[in-house]
Structure formats: C-alpha cells, structure tokens
Amino acid sequence: MTSITEESTNKVFGGWQKVFSHQSKELGCKMKFGVYVPPQSDSGPVPVVYWLSGLTCTEQNFITKAGSQSHAAKHGFLVVAPDTSPRGCNIEGEDDSYDFGSGAGFYIDATEEKWKTNYRMYSYVTKELPAVIAANFKVQADNNAIMGHSMGGHGALICALKNPGMYKSVSAFAPICNPTCCPWGIKGFTGYLGEGNKNVWKEYDACELLKKYNGPPLEILVDQGKGDNFLADGQLLPDNLVGACAKAGVPVVMRMQEDYDHSYYFISTFMGDHFDHHAKFLKD
C-alpha cells in the first residue's frame, strides 16, 4: 500500500525537493506527489504542511514556482504537494476541458457513476496520502497544516473544516470560497456529484461547512489579489467566506492585495507569511 518510487530529487535550501509516484488505491491510478524534506529531518520528526494546487496544475507548478522551499527550510516543515486529479483513467471526456476532469479533481469524492471509481481526491488527500507520508517519512503525527490556491484553496478549507483537529492551521491563496455559487464549482459539482442532491454539494463547500463547524479554534489566513481576473468573474467570492466566518465565529484574516493577480507571482510574494502563520500553530 505504501510503496513509493522516487522520480526525482534536487537539493534546495539545504533540504531535498523530491517527487514520488505510487499506485493510489483511492484513485485507481498512478499518482505523483512532491515532498520537500527540510534539513531538520536529519535530527528527528518534523511537522507536515500540505499544499493543494489549482486548476490545470500538476505537482510541478508549486514546487518549481512558489518559492516555498526557503520558508520550509527556515521552519523545518515537510511540505507535501499532490497532483490535482487522477491521471490517465481513460474516462470519456476526462481531457475535454481545463476545469473538469484531468487537472480539476476539486478535492471531492465523486458520486456520479462515470467518475466515482477514480475521482476521490478528498479521500486521497485526507486519508491515503497522510498514511503514505507517515509510513515513508519521519514526521510528527498530529502536527499538520494545510493550504492551497484557487481550487486548492477551496480544497484546503474543506479538508480543515470537515476534519476538526486534523490540521492545526489552514490558509489559502485566492480560494474558491463558495463553490456551490460560482460557475467553476457548479460545473464541477454537477459533473462529479450530480445535479440532484444539493445536500452533498454542501458537504464540499467551505461557506456551508462553516455553519456547523464546532471543532477546535481555527484561524484562517487568506490572501486575495485585487487584480485577479477570476475575482472579477465571480469565481472566488471572498466576501461570502468572510460573512460565513463572521456568522460562525471563526476568525479569518482576509487580506485584499492591491494589483496582485491569480498567478504564482502573487503566491510567491506572500508564501513566507503563510508559513509564518502555520508556524504559530505547528511549533510546540
């Protein structure tokens, strides 16, 4: 179950950026994921930070463009960056659009017949992958954080809200805050979960999950570029998250960043702040 194959390894900031492949049981296909092993791993178990990427990404975008390794090395965090969907499942239509199918798993467990066997990214990220990491790396059990970008920001928020206590902190860059109310989310949820059962949709929407969250205190950090064209298009809906947090009594710091867009240039600029945020909760 936990057999993994090292695909690449590069020394960076005193640690090692690695990419592994493995046969995923949840997804029924071969998957790749990135792992940054910080220099502090030599002296004992370290905390784990999960990163979830956005639409069209593989494990490569984050590890090559986000500038995360300097911060991970400074804090001594192992950083895990999975791919964004199952790959090569030969499902009819899986490669037809950038926002559905390959590269667009939405971090949910599909229920529709055509997708339900493979498109189980929620269970992959919250169950299978943590077990793989625990079995193969020297990590501190129960000292995890999660963050992500866009579709992956949505993923980070729902993983934290659905699993109280599993992640000590959560943050997001330009997350899809309210997928049941935006075009990307409606397309994805309709395809993977079906049009009929809106109660299942709510189980994967941060704004809905906040209504019933009663786990340990969570402090959510979000950065959102004001020059992000997907903000203008109504895909991200940060105001809805702020409103839902206020109603739920969950503290959120929503930083609207002048002129920044949706790119990894934006992400790299504030990556250090997000690591500092997680460090407040992950350090003993």
Among 21, 39, 65, 89, binds its own copies (CB under 8 A): 65
Instruction: Decide if residue 69 touches its own copies (CB under 8 A).
Output: yes
Our CB check for its own copies shows the closer of 99 and 261 to be: 261
Nearer to its own copies, 176 or 271 (CB): 271
Does 70 participate in binding its own copies (rule CB under 8 A)?
yes
DSSP structural state of residue 23: E
- Contact track, its own copies, 194-233, x by CB under 8 A: -------------------------------x-x------
3-state secondary structure (DSSP) of residue 208: helix
Instruction: Indicate if 228 belongs to the active site.
Output: yes
Sign of CA dihedral 45, 49, 52, 58: negative
How many residues at the interface with its own copies, by CB under 8 A?
22
* 3-state per-residue secondary structure call for 35-91: EEECHHHHHCCEEEEEEECCCCCCHHHHHHHCCHHHHHHHHCCEEEEECCCCCCCCC
Q: What is the rounded CA–CA span in Å between residue 279 and residue 49?
A: 10
Q: Counting contacts by CB under 8 A, is residue 264 touching its own copies?
A: yes
Please, are residues 182 and 234 in contact by the beta-carbon 8 Å criterion?
A: yes
Catalytic residue among 22, 71, 154, 262: 262
Active-site annotation holder among 150, 154, 205, 277:
150
**Could you say whether residue 260 binds its own copies (CB under 8 A)?**
yes
* d(C-alpha 11, C-alpha 250), whole Å: 39
Residues near its own copies (CB under 8 A): 10-14, 17, 64-65, 67, 69-70, 225, 227, 259-261, 263-266, 268-269
Which residues are catalytic, by number?
150, 228, 262
